[in-house]
Structure 1
Amino acid sequence: MNIVISGGTGFVGKQLSETLMEQGHHVYILTRSPEEKLDTKQVTYIGWLKKGYDPLSQLPEIDAAVNLAGTSLFGKWTKEKKKSIRSSRLEATETLVDMIGKMPKKPKVLVSGSAVGFYGTSEQDSYTEETNKRGEDFLADVTYEWEQAALQANALGVRTVLARFGIVLGHKGALPLMQLPFRYFAGGKIGSGEQWLSWIHVQDAAGMIAYAIEQESIKGALNVTAPHPRRNKDFSKALANTLHRPYWTIAPAPIIQKALGEMSTLILEGQCVYPRKAMENGYTFHYPNLSEALEHAL
């Protein structure tokens, strides 16, 4: 298949590109700087979102589209950072859907990135794709708008999947930051430690997207998380064991809040999310258990 990806040079995007190439597909990666990239037999870089680029004129007939573009959530959420988080996601999604609308033959599916932050936060409740009520914080608002932009593809006759990512574990992303205190023998739980962390290994994040492209029965929300979410205190203990470091200290919540501002909700609060749709549709996890996922990721 010919598959176009926005955000294909990012952490998950690179893994997805490798996964799709291993399956024999050709990947067309939309980027603002194609001149800095080198095409191969299975990868073609195409410029977009900058004046002078006309991606539609360079794309062949596309079978599937994946949208992973957007500014990283990491970093203090200043007014400008929050504006960038929102606008980058909406701009990429709206532009890609607009491109699809102009294609003579539409792709069969659009898999568009989202986040488990859609559900809001809770230490008691758990969530599946059947949970329709969204949260009431900044990230929930952003993911809702992001998903609504992607769902415009439905009106074009394109099956649309909303990939709600949990914390993705790998050599990039959140894990390098999460492991730092442990490497310096200062690791432990964060805040109360009771907050949930819904995680997934990057190989499964990519694998689930590739699976959703193939499986016509998958549409709408898709929780891209492992089947066994863990509370922060348990995740931290597993991380300490993997790194052969002690688990003994506590990072006080007020210090985290002062340092990170509103972004601290990603660390101090969480949600227990289950990938019911992936399991019901037969996806086989490479790393369903946290200890094995951490061992491989580190």
Structure 2
Amino acid sequence: MNILFTGGTGLIGSAFIKGIGQDYHYTVLTRQPEQAKCILGPKVKTITRLDALKDLNAFDAVINLAGEPIADKRWSAARKVKLEQSRWALTEQLIQLIQDSNAPPQVFISGSAVGYYGRQGQQPITEESATPHPEYSHTLCKVWEDTAQAAADKTRLCIVRTGIVLAPKGGALAKMATPFKLGLGGPIGSGQQMMSWIHLDDMVRALHFLLQEEACQGAFNATAPHPVSNREFSQTLARTLNRPCFFKVPAFVMRGLLGEMADLVLTGQAAIPKRLQDHGFEFEYPNLVPALRHTLQG
């Protein structure tokens, strides 16, 4: 199978390519081809621009995970433009290439995030049950998803709404674990906000499942079936690291540090992977305690 991959050098993309390599041939869109080959191996092909392609007839699948990290910097007007264009414009280019293809890829897997739902309180939500809350994370993801939706008349489309990915290196967990390792960790804000998370291994397996299962199409929550509150996550993380969980970070401090972006950590949603499970996907790490132990202790 020939796969065109955007975001292939990122946390999820690199884990997928290195973990699900057999029988697949990857072409990775990257601005740094040599670095990409160092990360992913010499057998991976690279392209630096999508306009180097006239169509996607040569590809059996497209996995589109590219996008500027949403939580790396404050959301200034300029930063929002980068977040949007890195997702929307690139997806528009892929859609045009699919439309220009006489033999388009059999499946188009496109990224999104549970931020699509906005703040949802503590009530569990599924792909069909939630009414999204109108805020920036929702707008960013909705336009991204709506853009990808234009491929549905030409190929099987799967949109992946990803939660917090737990990985031993990189990603959100490394940032969250640092204050705990220093003995300064604790809940953020009220601690009642829900956190939808997924182990990196299950994230990779879920993408592979969607790639292979022809009955799968539409939106899927890529989250473990047991979301937890920020307080429970903090306490579990502290126990896993054998560190205290005494300190609480007030909401006003987070807003002062992060501005509007603080909404990502002060609010949340309990997203349940109903559609993945309905199609028969089984999680290796459905519960937080073993997921964190495996991630942090090996």
- Please report the TM-score for the alignment, with normalisation by the length of structure 2: 0.93
| Partner SS for 1:189 | coil
Gaps of 5+ in 2: none
**CA distance in structure 2 between the aligned counterparts of 1:3 and 1:15, rounded to whole angstroms:** 15
State the match for 1:226 in structure 2: 224
Q: Does 1:67 align with 2:67?
A: no
- Misfit runs of 4+, over 4 Å: 39-42
SS of residue in 1 equivalent to 2:248: strand
Aligned to 2:122: 124
1:290–1:204 distance in 2 versus 1, CA, 3 Å: same
CA RMSD of aligned residues (A): 1.7
Taking the aligned partners of 2:176 and 2:275, their CA distance within structure 1 comes to 28
Paired-residue identity, %: 39
Is the 2:9–2:36 Cα contact (8 Å) retained in structure 1? no
Do the aligned partners of 1:108 and 1:159 also contact (CA within 8 Å) in 2? yes
Question: 2:197 is matched by which residue type in structure 1?
Answer: W
Q: Deviations over 1:139-184 (max 9, x none)?
A: 10111100010011012x2111110001111111111110111011
Q: Deviations over 1:11-47 (max 9, x none)?
A: 11101112330x4211111112325443857421122
Mapped contact 2:186–2:234 kept (Cα < 8 A): yes
Aligned-partner Cα distance in 2 for 1:289–1:24: 31
Partner of 1:3: 3
2:271 equivalent to 1:273? yes
Alignment of 1:180-259 (within 5 A): 180-259=178-257
C-alpha change, 1:42 and 1:253, in structure 2 (3 Å) is: same
Q: Answer yes or no: is the 8 Å Cα contact 1:19–1:207 preserved in 2.
A: no
CA contact (8 A) 2:118 2:133 kept: yes
What amino acid maps onto 1:217 in structure 2?
A
- The offset of 1:56, in angstroms, is 4.3
Query: What SS does structure 2 have at the residue aligned with 1:250?
Result: coil
> Which residue does 1:19 correspond to in 2?
19
Q: Give the direction of change, closer, same or farther, for the CA distance of 1:144–1:24 in structure 2 (3 Å limit).
A: same
Contact 1:67 1:93 in 2 (8 A): yes
Q: In structure 1, the residue corresponding to 2:46 is in which secondary structure?
A: strand
Any conservation in 2 of the 1:20–1:27 contact (CA below 8 Å)?
Answer: no
| Structure 1: unaligned runs, 5 residues or longer | none
Count matched residues. 292
Partner of 1:118, secondary structure, is: helix
Q: TM-score, normalising length from structure 1?
A: 0.93
